[in-house]
Structure 1
Amino acid sequence: MSTDPTTVRAARLLISQLGLTPEDLMWVPTDLPTFRDYVPHVIAASGTGAKRTYGTYWTRIIETFGDKRLDEVTPSEIEGLMRRLVENRQIRRNDRGGHSVAEHLLAAMRAIYNRAINDNLLPPQHNPAGKVPKPRRRPTTRQSLGAAEVTALADAVTTSGHDAVLDTLLFRLHLETACRRGGALALREDDIEPTTCLIQLREKNNTIRWQPASPTLIASLLDHRQHRGNGKPTPEPLLRHRDGNPINHRRYDRLWERLGDRLPWVNARNVSTHWLRHTTLTWIDRHYGPSVARGYAGHAHPRSDDVTAIYTKPTIADLATALAAYTHEPHPLATTPPPDGGLPVFPILNPLQP
């Protein structure tokens, strides 16, 4: 084999003119499947969260490109499908111009090509979805709610609907712990630790963490489990309707639709459950600093040049101390008693009835 520099330069020039890289030459061509044949493999290899987020988009991709091979779709065709889905989207209360539709469609296409490349069906550089610009995210309109707004929401939650007890429990759970909606829906009957007043949250990116909760909230969750569930720790869903069936995201949709009917500013500003998370984390940040707020939110510690930050992550005791001050209710893990001047806007939780 010749290693003459002139030969090597000529080979590199030829590869470049062909639009290839040396890595592409390592790829062994194979018969490519169609989207209709391959996307089901992508779905089968995906996690529950990805299926829930991208399932509808993978279905539309099969409908549009089903008979095409993976190497036959162009960036322009992907962008065209993205525009059509945005134009034909269902307009919801929190619509923001179809940004999430475009973003999710593109992410679904990229997932297909990334897996095809990992499966050695395509060379590393063949990813037309990667050539489509990702939609620029708009600044979020969510922000912390004021005490009067939280009080108005609490009043509306506790005095309306056919199951105010459940809605009140949901409202306090999110306002107190700042958990995401997915974290609440994933709660199991064995995720309650009553002795130290902790609940175990399973949230996005498969994170699992213990979060402090007030004795009042823990007692209400245990009461809920006793009357609507199995009455003991099990791996089954915790939050349930009166008939014992687990709740899902539709419970939240109906709750905020009702709140919007009673409080016009809720609809006008597209207030949702996530605003409660903003409210709590803002209060924690202002009173206990960004490090404790980050731990309270369950966010991973950011990478930085501040080596000291690695050693100063907040403990559960730090989070419990902040919670005690926020709810103005003592917590068994708090290092100091709750001071005066908390945010006493939480609705009173009545004992659950069978």
Structure 2
Amino acid sequence: MSTDPTTVRAARLLISQLGLTPEDLMWVPTDLPTFRDYVPHVISASGTGSKRTYGTYWTRIIEAFGDKRLDEVTPSEIEGLMRRLVENRRIRRNDRGGHSVAEHLLAAMRAIYNRAINDNLLPPQHNPAGKVPKPRRRPTTRQSLGAAEVTALADAVTTSGHDTVLDTLLFRLHLETACRRGGALALREDDIEPTTCLIQLREKNDTVRWQPASPTLIASLLAHRQHRGNGKPSPEPLLRHRDGNPINHRRYDRLWERLGDRLPWVTARNVSTHWLRHTTLTWVERHYGPSVARGYAGHAHPRSDDVTAVYTKPTIADLATALAAYTGEPHPLSTTPPPAGGLPVFPILNPLQP
């Protein structure tokens, strides 16, 4: 039996007005789990980074919606939970009005619904979290530090605290390589390549890359491994306290709290480790251009209509050349020697002592 074209057009119009697609009509509803039953499944299927970022928010979601089925929560309820978490947040040194709390809560809710849709528990159009406006991201307050500010930080790092060797090593690692805090914490004892002065960084979005490091930094990392670790390459964490336990993010928190006590402008401007990354990458961009700075940062090459850019990505030698100029130390992979005497922005930091 042939279908009347008028009926087909009317059906298509109705489906369009309902916000559906033909694929949605093929979805067969099942008995939906509650948030209490389903969120643990989401957590177990998520990566380490997602668990660290959204774990607290998934717990709050279970507390708020635990006994509700996945299809029973409305956009208004999600937005209400978002507002409550923002109002009751713990005020930290880097607080910016609870913007990150709202953003992370919404991302955690969307992750739940996206997985439920992929698991065919919900139709594609049923995502109430997608109907909640995403908080508008505010411009970052982080910026490059001046030479005098870097020198003041270096002086405070090397003359305060109960483990100045470790703090000096961390400070030089971030200032020299512009690595993220997560990249430093993920360093393993086998991530040092002393012959060509490279370290292997594992950072956000599961990226893995080799980054040039100065001979001074490489020697300091090897000495650190010898005195506080296994003394040889291994998959164990590299950066450790005096007692041999690996450091974590709290080491950074305590470091910047102490620096803020000694240098009031650190607290007033909320300076953190990431400011060192801004400082180094700004210098590299000013002296060696955006392409080298992008490679130095470990950023993906942007998509563009410039096909030539695909063939002109910076090499490790380009990064090593920029590093040599920045630190004033020759690098085995650098194509040109560093300027005589180095540059005033990079202070003398030698954390070699165990």
Give TM class, smaller chain.
Answer: over 0.9
Q: Residues of 2 paired with 1:80 and 1:289: CA distance?
A: 46
Q: Residues of 2 paired with 1:349 and 1:342: CA distance?
A: 13
Is contact 1:199–1:210 with CA below 8 Å preserved after alignment?
yes
Q: Residues of 1 paired with 2:333 and 2:142: CA distance?
A: 31
Q: Residues of 1 paired with 2:351 and 2:72: CA distance?
A: 61
Cα 1:314–1:350 change in 2 (3 A) is closer
Q: What corresponds to 1:305 in structure 2?
A: 305
Q: What corresponds to 1:341 in structure 2?
A: 341
SS in 1 for 2:120: coil
Q: Residues of 2 paired with 1:17 and 1:136: CA distance?
A: 29
SS in 2 for 1:294: helix
Is contact 2:214–2:324 with CA below 8 Å preserved after alignment?
yes
Is contact 1:189–1:236 with CA below 8 Å preserved after alignment?
yes
Is contact 2:150–2:347 with CA below 8 Å preserved after alignment?
no
Q: Deviations over 1:142-201 (max 9, x none)?
A: 000000000000000000001010000000000000000000000000000000000000
Q: Residues of 2 paired with 1:265 and 1:161: CA distance?
A: 19
Q: What corresponds to 1:196 in structure 2?
A: 196
Deviation at 1:73, TM superposition (A): 0.2
Q: Residues of 1 paired with 2:336 and 2:118: CA distance?
A: 52
Q: Deviations over 1:199-224 (max 9, x none)?
A: 00000000000000000000000000
Q: Residues of 2 paired with 1:339 and 1:345: CA distance?
A: 13
Q: Residues of 2 paired with 1:168 and 1:21: CA distance?
A: 59
Cα 1:124–1:329 change in 2 (3 A) is same
Is contact 2:326–2:346 with CA below 8 Å preserved after alignment?
no
Q: Residues of 1 paired with 2:328 and 2:353: CA distance?
A: 26
Which shows bigger deviation, 242-251 or 7-16?
7-16
Cα 1:339–1:348 change in 2 (3 A) is closer
Q: Residues of 1 paired with 2:86 and 2:317: CA distance?
A: 46
TM-score normalised by length of structure 1: 0.98
TM-score normalised by length of structure 2: 0.98
Q: Residues of 1 paired with 2:139 and 2:345: CA distance?
A: 29
Q: Residues of 2 paired with 1:140 and 1:316: CA distance?
A: 29
Q: Residues of 1 paired with 2:325 and 2:353: CA distance?
A: 30
Deviation at 1:57, TM superposition (A): 0.1
Identical-residue share of aligned pairs (%): 95
Is contact 2:42–2:112 with CA below 8 Å preserved after alignment?
yes
Q: Deviations over 1:108-163 (max 9, x none)?
A: 00000000000000000000000000000111010000000000000000000010
Q: What corresponds to 1:233 in structure 2?
A: 233
Q: Deviations over 1:46-93 (max 9, x none)?
A: 000000000000000000000000000000000000000000000000
SS in 2 for 1:202: strand
Deviation at 1:24, TM superposition (A): 1.0
Q: Residues of 2 paired with 1:25 and 1:292: CA distance?
A: 51
Is contact 2:239–2:247 with CA below 8 Å preserved after alignment?
yes
Deviation at 1:346, TM superposition (A): 4.2
Q: What corresponds to 2:285 in structure 1?
A: 285
Q: Cα RMSD (Å) of the superposition?
A: 1.3
Which shows bigger deviation, 335-344 or 248-257?
335-344
SS in 2 for 1:184: helix
Is contact 1:201–1:210 with CA below 8 Å preserved after alignment?
yes
Is contact 2:321–2:335 with CA below 8 Å preserved after alignment?
yes
Is contact 2:329–2:342 with CA below 8 Å preserved after alignment?
no
SS in 1 for 2:202: strand
Is contact 1:189–1:235 with CA below 8 Å preserved after alignment?
yes
Q: Residues of 2 paired with 1:48 and 1:160: CA distance?
A: 34
Is contact 2:200–2:209 with CA below 8 Å preserved after alignment?
yes
SS in 2 for 1:293: helix
SS in 2 for 1:97: coil
Alignment of 1:314-325 (within 5 A): 314-325=314-325
Which shows bigger deviation, 84-93 or 16-25?
16-25
> Are residue 208 (structure 1) and residue 238 (structure 2) matched?
no
Which shows bigger deviation, 17-26 or 82-91?
17-26
Which shows bigger deviation, 11-20 or 153-162?
11-20
SS in 2 for 1:201: strand
Gaps of 5+ in 1: none
Is contact 2:189–2:235 with CA below 8 Å preserved after alignment?
yes
Q: What corresponds to 2:20 in structure 1?
A: 20
Is contact 2:328–2:342 with CA below 8 Å preserved after alignment?
yes
Deviation at 1:10, TM superposition (A): 2.2
Deviation at 1:342, TM superposition (A): 3.9
Q: What corresponds to 1:61 in structure 2?
A: 61
Is contact 1:198–1:212 with CA below 8 Å preserved after alignment?
yes
Deviation at 1:339, TM superposition (A): 1.7
Deviation at 1:5, TM superposition (A): 1.0
Deviation at 1:16, TM superposition (A): 4.0
Q: Residues of 2 paired with 1:194 and 1:311: CA distance?
A: 29
Is contact 2:142–2:278 with CA below 8 Å preserved after alignment?
yes
Deviation at 1:15, TM superposition (A): 2.8
Q: Residues of 1 paired with 2:23 and 2:89: CA distance?
A: 40
SS in 1 for 2:101: helix
Deviation at 1:18, TM superposition (A): 4.6
Deviation at 1:17, TM superposition (A): 5.0
Is contact 1:321–1:331 with CA below 8 Å preserved after alignment?
yes
